[in-house]
C-alpha cells in the first residue's frame, strides 16, 4: 500500500473533458489526481514545402516558483511529445491535404506524471481533430492516425515494486522512473527514463516494460471511451444498436427486437464512432470486439456479427479472412477466382463448405451473449446466380446445383447461416438482457 492509500498498480482518480475549447478543432482536459493538463489543436491551410512537418507543438508547464527546473522539464517533455506526434502522423502532403496542425499543451498543475497525462490529452485532441477534418473534407486520409495511443508513468521507490502513476511526492522519492507511450498495436512511440544517477539493471527495465505496457493498453481503452458521448435514451425508450451500416442487415433483426419494444439503431446513427478493426483470429473474437467496444462507448446494448465461408478442403479457409481472401482490398470477383484456383484439383465430393455466422450481443457490465450457426453446402465450379454477393454464386445449397445467388431474398433469409443464428438468439436474448433488472 502506498502512502496515499493506493495500490501499486492503481492510478489516481481521473476526470476527462473533451471538446472543451470552443474554437479548437480538437481539445481535451485531463485532471488526474491534482495534475491538470489541457491540450488544444488548431488547423490552418498551408503550402506544404519539401519535408515540412505537418505540425507545430508548444508545451508549457506552470512554473510555480521553480522556473529553472520547469525549463529543463519542458524541453525534455516537448521532445517526447514530438516523438509521439512524428511516429503517429503520416508526414506526407497526401495525408495532410495541405493542412498543418498547431498543438498547444499546457500543464496547469503538475502533481506528478504530467508527461503521461499530457500525452493522453494529446491523443484525445488529435483524434477529434482527425475526425473533424475527415468530416469537413469528406476525406478520411486527412492527417490519418494509424492507431490510438496512450501513455503511463512508472516509478520505483525500491527495486522490487513498480508503482503506476506516481504523484510528485513519489517522484521525488523514486530511485528510477520512466514514461512510455505506445499505440494500440503495442508499438513503442516514445520512452523517457530517469535513473536519478543510479545504476540500474534488466529487472528495472522489465518492470517498466511489463507494467507500463499493460497500463497503457488499459489507458487507451479508457481514452477511447471518453471520445464519444454515450447515447442517451429517452424515458421509456429501449434501444439496441446493430453494428452495421447495412440497413438491410439491420432489418433482419428488427422483428426480433421490435416485438419486445426495442428500437433499432445502426452505425449510421452514430457517424462519429471510430471504426473497430477486426483483429481477431476467430469469428467470435471479431464479433465480440465490435459489440463490446461500441457498447462500452455508447453504454447501450450492441449486436455485432462476423460471418464468412469455411471450406473443408482448405482447412477452414478463408474463414475470418473471407472478405479479403484475395488481398487487402475487398473484391468479390477476386475472392471467388482465388477460391476456384485453390480448389482446382479437388473433386466434387470433397468441396464441402459452410457459411458461418457468429452473433455477439454485448451490454455494459454484462458478459457477452454468443450464438453461432452454419449453413451447409459445397463449392461449385462456375459462378451461378445474380441475387447474391460475396461467395453466394459459388455456394451450392441444393442437390440440383442451386446456388445461394439463385435463391430469392426471402428464401435466403429463411435458410441462411444468419437466419439460423437469429433463431438461436431469439431463445434467450431477452432473459439475458433484462434478467439483471429483477
Binding residue positions = 244-249, 277, 306-307, 389-392, 412, 417-418
Which helix (H) or strand (E) segment is 14 a member of? strand 14-18
Closest CA to 369 of 306, 309, 260, 287: 287
Read off the C-alpha cell for 248.
438491410
Is the dihedral angle over the CA atoms 203, 207, 210, 212 positive or is it negative?
Answer: negative
Contact (Cβ atoms closer than 8 angstroms) between residue 388 and residue 404: yes
User: b or e along 182-196 (b: 16 or more beta carbons within 10 Å of the residue's beta carbon)?
Assistant: bbbeeeebbebeeee
Dihedral angle computed from the Cα positions of residues 253, 254, 259 and 263, in that order, rounded to the nearest 10 degrees: 120
Strand pairing partners for 361?
Answer: 303, 369
Kindly list the distances between the CA atom of residue 293 and the CA atoms of 222, 235, 278, 369, in Å, as whole numbers in the listed order: 11, 25, 11, 14
Q: Does the annotation count 306 as an active-site position?
A: yes
Binding site listing for Mg(2+): 277, 306
Binding site listing for substrate: 244-249, 307, 389-392, 412, 417-418
| Rounded CA separation 405/385 (Å) | 5
DSSP state of 10: P
Rg of the chain, C-alpha, whole Å: 26
Unique residue bearing C-alpha cell 426480433: 256
Set 165, 167, 305, 306: catalytic member: 306
| Rounded CA separation 75/72 (Å) | 5
Q: Which active-site residues does the annotation give?
A: 306
Amino acid at each position: 500500500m502506498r502512502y496515499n492509500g493506493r495500490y501499486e498498480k492503481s492510478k489516481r482518480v481521473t476526470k476527462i473533458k473533451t471538446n472543451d475549447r470552443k474554437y479548437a478543432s480538437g481539445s481535451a482536459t485531463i485532471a488526474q489526481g491534482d495534475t491538470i493538463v489541457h491540450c488544444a489543436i488548431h488547423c490552418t491551410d498551408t503550402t506544404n514545402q519539401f519535408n515540412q512537418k505537418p505540425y507545430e507543438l508548444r508545451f508549457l508547464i506552470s512554473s510555480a516558483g521553480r522556473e529553472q527546473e520547469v525549463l529543463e522539464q519542458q524541453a525534455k517533455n516537448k521532445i517526447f511529445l514530438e516523438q509521439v506526434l512524428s511516429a503517429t502522423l503520416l508526414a506526407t502532403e497526401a495525408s495532410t491535404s495541405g493542412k498543418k496542425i498547431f498543438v498547444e499543451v499546457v500543464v496547469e498543475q503538475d502533481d506528478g506524471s504530467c508527461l503521461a497525462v499530457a500525452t493522453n490529452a494529446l491523443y484525445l485532441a488529435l483524434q477529434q481533430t482527425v475526425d473533424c477534418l475527415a468530416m469537413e473534407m469528406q476525406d478520411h486520409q486527412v492527417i490519418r492516425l494509424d492507431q490510438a495511443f496512450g501513455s503511463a508513468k512508472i516509478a520505483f521507490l525500491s527495486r522490487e515494486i513498480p508503482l503506476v502513476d506516481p504523484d510528485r511526492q513519489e517522484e521525488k522519492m523514486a530511485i528510477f522512473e520512466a514514461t512510455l507511450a505506445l499505440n494500440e498495436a503495442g508499438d513503442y512511440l516514445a520512452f523517457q527514463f530517469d535513473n536519478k544517477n543510479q545504476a540500474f539493471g534488466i529487472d528495472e527495465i522489465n518492470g517498466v516494460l511489463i507494467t507500463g505496457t499493460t497500463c497503457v493498453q488499459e489507458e487507451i481503452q479508457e481514452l477511447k471511451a471518453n471520445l464519444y458521448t454515450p447515447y442517451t435514451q429517452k424515458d421509456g425508450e429501449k434501444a439496441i444498436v446493430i453494428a452495421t451500416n447495412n440497413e438491410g442487415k439491420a432489418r433482419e433483426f428488427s422483428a426480433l427486437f421490435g416485438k419486445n419494444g426495442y428500437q433499432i439503431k445502426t452505425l449510421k446513427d452514430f457517424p462519429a464512432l471510430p471504426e473497430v478493426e477486426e483483429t481477431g483470429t476467430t469469428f467470435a473474437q471479431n464479433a465480440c470486439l465490435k459489440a463490446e467496444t461500441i457498447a462500452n462507448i455508447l453504454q447501450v446494448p450492441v449486436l455485432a456479427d462476423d460471418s464468412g465461408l469455411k471450406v473443408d478442403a482448405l482447412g477452414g479457409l478463408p474463414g475470418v479472412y473471407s472478405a479479403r481472401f484475395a488481398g487487402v482490398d475487398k473484391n468479390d470477383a477476386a475472392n471467388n477466382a482465388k477460391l476456384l484456383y485453390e480448389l482446382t484439383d479437388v473433386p466434387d465430393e470433397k468441396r464441402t463448405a459452410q457459411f458461418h455466422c457468429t452473433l455477439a450481443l454485448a451490454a455494459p457490465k454484462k458478459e457477452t451473449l454468443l450464438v453461432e450457426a452454419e449453413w451447409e453446402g459445397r463449392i461449385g465450379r462456375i459462378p451461378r446466380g445474380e441475387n447474391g454477393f460475396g461467395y453466394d454464386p459459388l455456394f451450392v445449397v441444393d442437390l440440383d446445383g442451386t446456388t445461394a445467388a439463385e435463391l430469392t431474398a426471402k428464401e435466403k433469409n429463411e435458410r441462411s447461416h444468419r437466419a439460423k443464428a437469429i433463431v438461436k438468439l431469439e431463445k434467450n436474448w431477452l432473459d439475458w438482457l433484462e434478467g439483471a433488472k429483477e
